[in-house]
């Protein structure tokens, strides 16, 4: 079997109410669909995220020129080949190997997203070629996987405590875990919001805080100690982007709340450093942003070895297969209880894993188990 063609479809779905995290404003949901065709008629699909979309699609097209003709089942070999293009090679100026020069350092987020698009689609082909869903191909079993829904985004004109009804609404829908966005109010306001949310959802619902890197170390130590009385499962990305594992380790040693991190890390190597030296207990690697499923499986192996949990960021229809394959290292998945927050996830798929009463149920279809609604995709083509 050989790869014959790779094509991309960038999407953008505007949302009714733009929202803020502590870090940035979002006016809609973006995604890139990728198709990898083969000479045996099998087609692999992936859905990734990242920006700028045009740059990522350009990189996918450049990578396609290098992998057309290769066996799509050689996922590790193709991954190593494409990832190797990010590093120096001997005698590059002489262009003796027929490969492009090392990929620009400034483009690493885009090139790792492009790698993810191809790699995930190849895994879809691998499952289809074997006639198995990925969870079975990876040695897992199809057991329901707990998930949580995220809310509490800042929307102009809403009351500060609007998040209380929103998160309580998720619980009313059956969610047993919820996550609240933080960091766009003052510390005092955030403490009031979280206390009100805890009171509304009751003592048995898991409550996580997504902080989008809003604090310096000293301030975060104060916040972590004050918010801990609300029985917080984890504080996610609590420290400014430039603070590293040593800072996370000091934070972990000085607060009684577990830490989560990893959705913006590019590779397993920095994830490893945050696990070994940073005191994090929950790892949120996102294979749809960087490096794909091949790298995500390696991250899961590290988590299992060090006794920490993998709680992948978004894409439960894909990451559920990883959770199934590593039951001792998996804790929860992230899903979307509000269709208006992510209309792409709610309306793009004709087939995907389903969420019932907070649990993700994978299907029995071969590969990732997804089928896109191409008519819907055409309506939001970017």
Residue 18: both structure tokens together? 């733009």
Q: What is the pLDDT along the chain (382 residues), one digit of tens a residue?
A: 999 999 999 999 999 999 999 999 999 999 999 999 999 999 999 999 999 999 999 999 999 999 999 999 999 999 999 999 999 999 999 989 999 999 999 999 999 999 999 999 999 999 999 999 999 999 999 999 999 999 999 998 888 899 999 999 999 999 999 999 999 999 999 999 999 999 999 999 999 999 999 999 999 999 999 999 999 999 999 999 999 999 999 999 999 999 999 999 999 999 999 999 999 999 999 999 999 999 999 999 999 999 999 999 999 999 999 999 999 999 999 999 999 999 999 999 999 999 999 999 999 999 999 999 999 999 999 9
The reported pLDDT for the residue numbered 263 is 95
**Cα distance between residue 174 and residue 60, in whole Å:** 39
Among 274, 360, 370, 280, which Cα is nearest to 320's?
360
Residue 301: both structure tokens together? 């192996």
Q: Where are the beta strands (DSSP E) in 169-318?
A: 177-181, 206-210, 234-236, 259-261, 282-283, 309-310
The reported pLDDT for the residue numbered 157 is 85
**Counting beta carbons within 10 angstroms of the beta carbon of residue 103, is it exposed (0 to 12), middle (13 to 18) or buried (19 or more)?**
buried
Q: Which CATH class is domain 136-375?
A: alpha beta
Among 324, 236, 217, which Cα is nearest to 282's?
236
The structural domains of the chain, with segments of one domain joined by +, span 3-131, 136-375
Q: Where are the beta strands (DSSP E) in 144-242?
A: 145-151, 177-181, 206-210, 234-236
**Counting beta carbons within 10 angstroms of the beta carbon of residue 65, is it exposed (0 to 12), middle (13 to 18) or buried (19 or more)?**
exposed
CA end-to-end span of the chain: 32
Sign of CA dihedral 153, 154, 158, 161: positive
Task: Please give the DSSP secondary-structure letter assigned to residue 97.
Answer: S
Sequence-distant (6+) residues with CB within 8 A of 220 are 235, 238, 239, 251, 255
**Cα distance between residue 19 and residue 27, in whole Å:** 7
Specify which residues 209 forms β-bridges with: 180, 235
Residue 179: both structure tokens together? 């996550």
The CATH code that applies to domain 3-131 is 3.30.390.10
**Cα distance between residue 21 and residue 156, in whole Å:** 12
């Amino acid at each position: 079997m050989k790869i014959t063609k790779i094509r991309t479809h960038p999407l953008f779905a505007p949302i009714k109410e733009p929202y803020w995290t502590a870090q940035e404003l979002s006016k809609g949901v973006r995604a890139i669909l990728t198709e990898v065709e083969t000479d045996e008629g099998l087609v692999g699909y992936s859905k990734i995220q990242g920006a700028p979309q045009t740059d990522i699609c350009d990189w996918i097209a450049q990578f396609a020129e290098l992998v057309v003709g290769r066996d799509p089942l050689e996922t590790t070999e193709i991954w190593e080949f494409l990832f190797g293009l990010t590093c120096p090679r001997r005698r590059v100026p002489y262009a003796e190997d027929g490969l492009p020069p090392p990929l620009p350092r400034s483009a690493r987020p885009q090139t790792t997203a492009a790698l993810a698009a191809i790699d995930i689609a190849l895994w879809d082909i691998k499952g289809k070629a074997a006639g198995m869903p990925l969870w079975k191909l990876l040695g897992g079993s199809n057991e329901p996987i707990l998930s949580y829904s995220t809310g509490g985004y800042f929307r102009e004109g809403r009351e500060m405590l609007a998040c209380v009804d929103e998160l309580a609404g998720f619980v009313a829908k059956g969610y047993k875990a919820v996550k609240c966005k933080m960091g766009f109010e003052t510390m005092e306001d955030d403490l009031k919001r979280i206390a009100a949310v805890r009171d509304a959802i009751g003592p048995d619902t898991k409550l996580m805080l997504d902080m989008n890197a809003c604090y310096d170390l000293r301030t975060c130590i104060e916040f972590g100690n004050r918010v801990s009385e609300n029985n917080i499962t984890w504080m996610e990305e609590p420290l400014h982007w430039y603070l590293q594992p040593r800072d996370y380790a000091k934070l972990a040693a000085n607060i009684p709340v577990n830490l989560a991190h990893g959705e913006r890390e590019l590779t397993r190597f920095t994830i490893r450093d945050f696990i070994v030296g940073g005191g994090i207990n929950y790892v949120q690697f996102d294979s749809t942003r960087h490096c794909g499923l091949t790298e995500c499986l390696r991250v899961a192996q590290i988590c299992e070895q060090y006794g920490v949990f993998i709680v992948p960021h978004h894409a439960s229809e894909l990451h559920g297969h990883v959770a199934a394959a590593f039951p001792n290292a998996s804790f929860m998945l992230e899903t979307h209880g509000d269709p208006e927050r992510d209309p792409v996830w709610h309306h793009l798929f004709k087939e995907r894993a389903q969420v019932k009463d907070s649990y993700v149920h994978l299907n029995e279809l071969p590969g990732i188990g997804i089928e896109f609604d191409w008519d819907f995709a055409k309506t939001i083509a970017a």
